[in-house]
Amino acid sequence: MQKPKRNTWQREAVRSALSGTEGFVSAQALHQHLRDGGSTIGLATVYRALADLATEGDADSLQQDGESLYRACTTDAHHHHLICRNCGRTVEIEADPVERWAQEVAAANGFTNASHVVDIFGECAVCTAARTGE
């Protein structure tokens, strides 16, 4: 069993900064935000803290253009996301058909204890209206 991580000031600073952001953010952007606020926290520490928060379920993470992005997780339950490509607006969704499909595909191929991540990227209503002028 893995020992719980210590709650250091750096970890709390990252958690607090992440909670104060809208949508997903990169470790570099979060680090810059912390530095702009006067923090002396290092970039490597921000990366470690974000990875730990994601592992523990306190942050959502996704890969976009080869970069890990993070946001504070607002629910403990398994969920998926709708994410606007333009503004980053994120909506947490449940997707029962996806859950059934994932388990069926795993079982049909002899896999057990399967897990998955589903993020759907598109354009939110506000960005669509701005683009189309409606």
* Topology of domain 77-133, CATH: Dna Ligase; domain 1 (3.30.1490)
Mean pLDDT of 54-83: 83
Question: What proportion of the chain, given as a percentage, has pLDDT over 70?
Answer: 94
Question: Does pLDDT of 4 surpass 70?
Answer: no
Q: Exposure string (b/e) for 69-105, b if CB count within 10 Å is 16 or more?
A: bbbbbeeeeeebbebbeeebbbeeeebeeeeeebeee
Domain boundaries, the chain: 1-73, 77-133
Q: Which two tokens stand for residue 3?
A: 């020992």
Enter the CATH code of domain 1-73. 1.10.10.10
Mean pLDDT of 38-60: 92
Q: Is 78 annotated as a binding residue?
A: yes
Q: Is 73 annotated as a binding residue?
A: no
Say whether pTM exceeds 0.85: no
Q: Is 90 helix (H, G, I), strand (E, B) or coil?
A: strand
CB 118 within 8 A of CB 82: no
CB 125 within 8 A of CB 88: no
